[in-house]
């Protein structure tokens, strides 16, 4: 279910709507309130250790519980993408990042609580400051340091991560220097 399917009433004035919104916006027939259905923004990082291996996490929660992913998550209000990736990486695996470099964006969808949210994922490459402090924390079942070329694409949790991993491999990218 996509978010616009919940707009039976105007969120500003409460007026019942004659029809569900179509397209990328909602406009209330009663008060004129206009709301755009924009994607949520998320970040993820290919975090490299000094030996060239990248960190992959195994998700502890749905969606995609048990599948491989990257450290990352949703960007909060008043937070840059880089700040969000640093925060999420500390929360999930207790690591600090250095030398963040933008890789690409990919579209995604994220089912949660009966709603499928459209998401724009921003991918970065980063170097870990101290790899030995890694720990499986919030939402992480386990982690592994591995060559990103050796990871099976079928084991990856989300299509956006698979697509970014393919790009990383094609460009033969590694840890920032």
CB of 45 closer than 8 Å to CB of 124: yes
Residue with tokens 């209330």: 28
* Separation of alpha carbons 34 and 73, rounded Å: 28
Q: How far is CA 84 from CA 124, 135, 158, in A?
A: 11, 19, 19
CB of 160 closer than 8 Å to CB of 39: no
Catalytic residue check, 92: no
Q: Is the peptide bond before 63 cis (omega within 30 degrees of 0)?
A: yes
Q: Which of 5, 83, 141, 144 is catalytic?
A: 141
Among all residues, which ones are annotated catalytic? Answer: 141
């Amino acid at each position: 279910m996509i978010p616009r399917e919940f707009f039976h009433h105007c969120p500003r004035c409460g007026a019942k709507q004659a029809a569900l919104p179509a397209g990328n916006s909602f406009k209330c027939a009663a008060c004129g309130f206009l709301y755009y259905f924009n994607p949520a923004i998320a970040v993820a990082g290919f975090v490299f250790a000094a030996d060239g291996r990248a960190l992959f996490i195994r998700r502890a929660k749905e969606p995609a519980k048990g599948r491989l992913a990257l450290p990352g998550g949703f960007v909060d209000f008043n937070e840059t993408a880089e700040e969000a990736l640093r925060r999420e990486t500390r929360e999930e695996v207790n690591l600090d990042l250095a030398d963040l470099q933008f890789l690409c964006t990919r579209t995604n969808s994220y089912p949660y609580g009966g709603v499928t949210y459209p998401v724009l994922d921003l991918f970065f490459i980063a170097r870990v400051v101290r790899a030995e402090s890694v720990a499986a924390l919030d939402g992480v079942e386990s982690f592994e340091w591995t060559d990103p070329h050796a990871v099976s694409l079928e084991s990856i949790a989300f299509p956006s991560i698979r697509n970014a991993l393919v790009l990383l491999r094609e460009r033969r990218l590694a840890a920032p220097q």
